[in-house]
């Protein structure tokens, strides 16, 4: 479970942090960072493909997500089976199908939440903190497409990830997490939107635990 949580933490923080309005064109690292924290809420679809060294075919899952600056992440896997994950600043709740929810707190698993907090520094526009944790390699094309490769510089991040690659245009379209042991996770984000700007009552209820 811990490996999957790492992937979700990265997805949450980086997707929120680098989501940009449709009129913005990112041409360099400064302009990418300047667009941080533009949207209060981001919603969309995801397709996650987990490539494991021990399997020939990737493990694929799809679903929908809701990201909120003030509340956290709602990650709802729909295929191949239902999994509902809610992540806040200090709590995580995971529900499989019709089973009882399981809640984990930052006190119970501080290392897992460390990963979340590190990437949330990007959400707050803390460039200095980001550069302390990663070597940044940014590239952009005239079409507006861009790519950012994050290479961990120190433990514990560099004990898990070889590199984290984000690519997109007005939003992150793909996130690739390469692990040292050879496993790789690819997450594609589509149908992203920031309206309505606030969480619905049903969405807020998900974070009430």
pLDDT at residue 94 in the model: 94
Query: With 0-12 CB in 10 A as exposed, 13-18 as middle and 19+ as buried, what is 100?
Result: exposed
Q: Give the pLDDT band (50/70/90) at residue 44.
A: very high
Neighbours of 109 (CB within 10 A): 14
Report the sign of the C-alpha dihedral through residues 115, 17, 40, 168, in that order. Answer: negative
CA distance 179 to 160: 6
Residue 35 vs residue 132, higher pLDDT: 132
pLDDT of residue 22 exceeding 50, the answer is no
Residue 168 vs residue 61, higher pLDDT: 61
CA distance 209 to 189: 27
pTM of the predicted model as reported, rounded to 2 decimal places:
0.83
Sketch the domain layout of the chain as residue ranges.
2-206
Alpha helices, H only, 79-162: 110-123, 127-133
Query: With 0-12 CB in 10 A as exposed, 13-18 as middle and 19+ as buried, what is 1?
Result: exposed
Residue 48 vs residue 115, higher pLDDT: 48
CATH class of 2-206: mainly beta
pLDDT at residue 153 in the model: 95
CA distance 12 to 16: 6
In angstroms, the first-to-last Cα distance of the chain is 20
pLDDT at residue 125 in the model: 47
CB 9 within 8 A of CB 92: no
Residue 157 tokens read as 């991040």
Report the sign of the C-alpha dihedral through residues 152, 43, 146, 124, in that order. Answer: negative
- Measured in whole angstroms, the distance separating CA 163 from the mean position of its chain's CA atoms is 14
- From 28-42, 45-59, 84-98, 160-174, the region with the lowest mean pLDDT: 28-42
């Amino acid at each position: 479970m811990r490996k999957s949580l790492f992937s979700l933490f990265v997805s949450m923080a980086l997707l929120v942090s680098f989501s940009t309005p449709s009129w913005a064109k990112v041409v360099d690292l400064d302009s990418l960072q300047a667009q941080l924290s533009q949207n209060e809420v981001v919603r969309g679809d995801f397709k996650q493909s987990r490539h494991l060294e021990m399997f020939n075919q990737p493990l694929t899952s799809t679903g929908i997500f809701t990201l909120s600056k003030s509340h956290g992440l709602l990650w709802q896997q729909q295929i191949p089976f239902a999994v509902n994950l809610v992540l806040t600043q200090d709590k995580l709740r995971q529900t499989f199908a019709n089973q009882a929810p399981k809640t984990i707190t930052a006190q119970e698993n501080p290392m897992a939440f460390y990963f979340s907090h590190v990437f949330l520094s990007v959400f707050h526009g803390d460039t200095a903190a980001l550069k302390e944790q990663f070597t940044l390699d940014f590239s952009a094309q005239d079409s507006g497409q861009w790519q950012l490769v994050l290479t961990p510089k120190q433990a514990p991040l560099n004990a898990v990830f070889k590199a984290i690659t984000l690519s997109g245009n007005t939003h992150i379209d793909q996130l690739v997490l390469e692990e040292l042991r050879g496993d790789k996770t690819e997450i594609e984000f589509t149908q992203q939107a920031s309206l309505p700007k606030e969480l619905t009552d049903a969405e807020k209820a998900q974070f009430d635990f």
